[in-house]
Amino acid sequence: MGWTIAIHGGAGTIARAEMNAGQEAAHRDALHAALEAGAAVLREGGAAEEAVLAAVSSMEDCPLFNAGHGATLTAAGHAELDAALMLDDGRAGAVTGARRIRNPVRAAQAVMRHTKHVLLQGEAADGLAAECGLPLAESGYFVTPHRLAQLEAARRDGELVLDHDGRMGTVGAVARDAIGALAAATSTGGMTNKRPGRVGDSPVIGAGTWADGRVAVSCTGTGEAFLRCAAAHEVAARMRLAGEDLGAATRFVVEQAVPEAGGSGGLIAVDAAGHFALPFNTSGMYRGVWRDGDAPEVAIFRD
């Protein structure tokens, strides 16, 4: 049936009137670059695991997204990085509160491959990355002028700013490879001005990231709400237990479960047949999809 890859770069208050042509073009170029990074793996017969890692790493390296370089800053003024990876055979790895890992999603893979654990936090996550030879960086690498200005404004107003309301969001990728294997990966810096140590949904298996034999899911939005309703796993559960198709299951989660849990956002998902869904309940979501034999597509706004 060929391969499929879908990506997101955050969902939220993304208004066309507040984005000039240059900004829009830069975001579309970044989404295309991430799609190409993942598709390049799949075109050569590579695994879904490596495809989602390539796509997410591309967005972690781009300052336009809230992951890796350009992540949001905590109330203490530093980045705390979260990421997760899950495969359809149940293997998973995640990191939270990392401070030095250039590509946190690669560290999530290292947790899965090189430890008996699923989730490592803080210095332990940084230490494992170093042991595995993953690229590290000083804290200044993750700080951009935009994020500093965003933090200063949030401090002045005494507010928390969701990543997607800052027009730059959590990133993720889901893929089905040529032999039918599924994988999902998610990476984020969380919320601007968040309390140090806060953990959102992205690194929590079943909340912001999930994969099994039926579906792979990556979420973006109000992390606490996605945690409360186990959003990513809820998609899979509705497909497995209620017999819903991908569209129905993802619409329920985005249109009903997440709002009832007090949040907003979106998700991307691909099923075992290569069908995809990219629903969101906000004014926009940075997103893209590419299926074997088709042209890549990216979008930002609801229309």
Tell me whether residue 300 is in a domain: no
Catalytic site residue 170?
Answer: yes
Residue 207 lies in domain? 4-292
The domain that contains 281 carries what CATH number?
A: 3.60.20.30
Tell me whether residue 195 is in a domain: yes
Using the Cα atoms of residue 199, residue 113, residue 234 and residue 252 in order, give the sign of their dihedral: positive
What are the angstrom distances between the C-alpha of 213 and each of 148, 237, 239? Answer: 42, 12, 11
CA distance 216 to 90: 11
Quick check: 132 pLDDT over 50?
Answer: yes
Overall domain count for the chain: 1
Quick check: 230 pLDDT over 90?
Answer: yes
Tell me whether residue 297 is in a domain: no
**Looking at 72, 96, 170, 250, which residue is catalytic?**
170
Residues paired with 217 in a beta bridge? 210, 269
Residue 101 is given by DSSP the state B
Quick check: 164 pLDDT over 60?
Answer: no
CA distance 270 to 245: 11
Confidence of residue 160 (pLDDT cuts 50, 70, 90): low
Tell me whether residue 182 is in a domain: yes
Q: What value does the mean pLDDT of the chain take?
A: 94
Tell me whether residue 21 is in a domain: yes
User: Which tokens sit at 204?
Assistant: 């929590």
Tell me whether residue 279 is in a domain: yes
Tell me whether residue 301 is in a domain: no
Tell me whether residue 299 is in a domain: no
Quick check: 49 pLDDT over 70?
Answer: yes
Predicted confidence (pLDDT) per residue in 63-107, tens digit: 999 999 989 999 898 899 999 999 999 999 999 999 999 999 999
What are the angstrom distances between the C-alpha of 69 and each of 7, 12, 32, 50? Answer: 18, 20, 18, 20
Widest distance between CA atoms in the chain: 53
Report the run of H or E that residue 232 belongs to, with start and end.
Answer: helix 231-241
Predicted confidence (pLDDT) per residue in 10-24, tens digit: 998 777 887 889 999
